[in-house]
Amino acid sequence: MPDNRPIQNAANHTMFDPPFHFGFVPLVLVLLIYAIYNLVVGFGLASIMFLVMVIAIALAGFKARLYALKVQDRLIRLEERLRLAETLPEALRIRVGELTEDQLVGIRFASDAELPALVEKCLANSWKRKEIKQAIQNWRPDYFRV
């Protein structure tokens, strides 16, 4: 079966989670607007409690999303440490601990061939995730992100 997905690069690698971005977020915004309207029009304990409930639902939804992204970053960090242990020369392998979580998450898109040079640049220049992604020449796609 052919892969019809576009080739990933630094410009197009971000992903939307349709149920979250196009379902949950708009619904919560509508509820929040209605709760504020309801508070202004009919101020009372019920309207205050409704607004508090909508805010609690919004916070719970956003925290759940953030937890999933944090777990994903932890898994990426583990995967990249294993990958670096297998692909880097010994001189760089002993410095893997100096890479930040942000750098490990950023280099996940780099091909194995360009990994040693990219790790050297990360360590020498304290690059952030965005700088790393922009420096990648041979993009290794990741279609399984949250």
| Per-residue pLDDT tens digits for 1-15 | 456 665 665 655 666
Question: What gap in Å lies between CA 6 and CA 35, rounded to an integer?
Answer: 41
Calculate mean pLDDT across residues 90-102: 90
Cβ atoms of 36 and 51 within 8 Å: the answer is yes
Cβ atoms of 117 and 91 within 8 Å: the answer is no
Going 109 to 3 to 143 to 134, the CA torsion angle's sign is positive
Q: Which domain holds residue 124?
A: 88-138
From the CB of residue 37, how many other CB atoms can be counted at a distance below 10 Å? 11
Structural domains in the chain (count)? 2
pTM more than 0.75: no
**One domain for residues 64 and 92:** no
Domain boundary among 45, 71, 97: 71
